Amino acid sequence: QTGQGQYIDISLLDTQVALLINTATNFFTTQKDPQRWGNGHPNIVPYQVFPTADDPIIVAVGNDSQFRKLCETIGRPEIANDPKYATNAGRVQHRQGVVRALEEALRSKGRHHWVAALGAVGVPCGPVNTLSQVFEDPQVKHREMVVTMPHKKAAGGSVRVLANPIRLSETPVQYRVSPPMRNEHAKEILRDWLGDDR
């Protein structure tokens, strides 16, 4: 409590670059551009999206014990017993083979089955949601991540917009202005920012 403040500078570009932490570390170490793995993690296998009988799931196996539990739970313990796949280093080296075997097994049942079964044995996983599923999620609703704003041109007189994810205890975000129509503030922008009084 010094009574002093500071300017906080966070750019979108800086944030995106900072999200490269794992990939950037590999690049700084090897000076080689990484191969693209789609949704896969460059250093951990399996750590990616997998199709199921209906909707996809993400599986994020962080160690060899979790990998064994994954294989046992999907009814394929022999995958974990294969010396090529017994360690993460081996799975990274033989990525395509292990991923193919897991995909085949995971396609046998739907995502709700796998998320429940894998979660019960401590294998990190979760559903890959569509946007309609995201906005029906109980936690998203609880966190009030959607705000309804009045809008003079919208059907029903209102539009839904995303809420600000930053929550401040003393100065909560206020949603005062509805999304503008095209060119709604053109005169003000030209006048105030460009000095043009047309």
Q: Report the C-alpha gap between 135 and 64 in whole angstroms.
A: 35
Kindly give, in sequence order, each residue whose CB lies less than 8 Å from that of residue 94, ignoring residues fewer than 6 positions away: 84, 85
Q: Is residue 17 part of a domain?
A: no
Indicate whether 137 belongs to any domain: yes
User: One digit per residue, pLDDT tens: the chain, 198 residues?
Assistant: 788 888 888 888 888 888 887 888 888 888 988 887 788 998 999 999 999 999 999 999 999 999 999 999 999 999 999 999 999 999 999 999 999 999 999 999 999 999 999 999 999 999 999 999 999 999 999 999 999 999 888 889 999 999 999 888 888 889 988 888 888 889 999 999 888 887
DSSP lists the bridge partners of residue 171 as none
Tokens at 4, concatenated: 């002093």
The CATH number of whichever domain residue 47 belongs to comes to 3.30.1540.10
Q: In the 8-state DSSP scheme, what is residue 134?
A: H
> Considering 93, 111, 128, which residue would you say is the last residue of a domain?
128
Q: What is the DSSP string of 32-93?
A: SPPPP-TTS-SSSSSEEEE--SSS-EEEE--SHHHHHHHHHHTT-HHHHHSTTTSSHHHHHH
Structural domain boundaries, residue 96: 38-128
**46 and 106 belong to one structural domain:** yes
- Count of domains for the chain: 2
> Would the pTM of this model clear 0.85, i.e. be above it?
no
